[in-house]
Amino acid sequence: MSIEQKSLSLNTALFYRGLSWLVTILTPVVIVLTAVRLLMAPAFLSFEYNTPNFPPDRYGFTLQDRLYWSNIALEYLLNDAGIEFLGDLRFADGTPVYNQRELKHMVDVKIAVKAALNIWRVSGLALFLLALWAWRGGWFDAFRSGLARGAWLTAISVGALILFALLSFGVFFVAFHNVFFEPGTWMFEFSDTLIRLFPERFWRDIFIYVGVFSIGAGLLIAFLLRRK
């Protein structure tokens, strides 16, 4: 083999190695955001509100009330409507369902959700196209290695994060919100609709479910891709 051929072969190997690490990076993103998207469904709201010892609303929301209003909030996050979708809502006595502070936060949440879902779609598509390229292009072993690394990375990192959240959920909850939202804009009164619909227990459970799904999916992929 000539020097030029050896150099070309080395460059090709380095190129595929780089693609393999790109697969590693994309894998946790796809797994975790898939879990998040699966929970953004009416079926999850019904399941969560019916879990044992879910805290009742001290201000009078029934289970049916929570399901009704929370499904509208979820619909807002997933549709293309403006904040008037929530701002025009009224209780039976004519009072607004959400105050201005809550509406501002819901706008911020929708922006974050839309960005996360776009990242999920792009990452998923990129991973799929890389898989096709690897299969047709003769570098599937490198793709397989990258996917396995990403699966292990998902299981280990999410496991550590969930452990920290369980040991100190309050600290984790505040830190999480301060990363994605302007500090202080996500804090409300216990009598506000958002807290009555989505108490701290609701968010703690979501973190656990996302974590369990992500860890389970990561371990399953790593197990299926293990080398014999």
Task: Classify 94 in phi/psi space as left (phi over 0), alpha (psi -120 to 50) or beta.
Answer: left
Which pLDDT score is estimated for 8? 45
β-bridge partners, 90: 96
Each residue's pLDDT tens digit, 88-146: 999 999 999 999 999 999 999 999 999 999 999 999 999 999 999 999 988 899 999 99
Phi, psi angles (nearest 5°) of residue 98:
-125, 140
Whole-prediction pTM: 0.92
Task: State whether residue 90 is helix, strand or coil.
Answer: strand
Which pLDDT score is estimated for 227? 65
Which contacts (CB < 8 Å, 24+ apart) does range 223-228 have? 225/144, 225/147, 225/148, 225/151, 226/148
Q: How far apart, in whole angstroms, are the C-alpha atoms of residue 195 and residue 172?
A: 18
Instruction: Mark the ranges of the chain whose per-residue pLDDT is less than 50.
Output: 4, 6, 8
Which pLDDT score is estimated for 226? 82
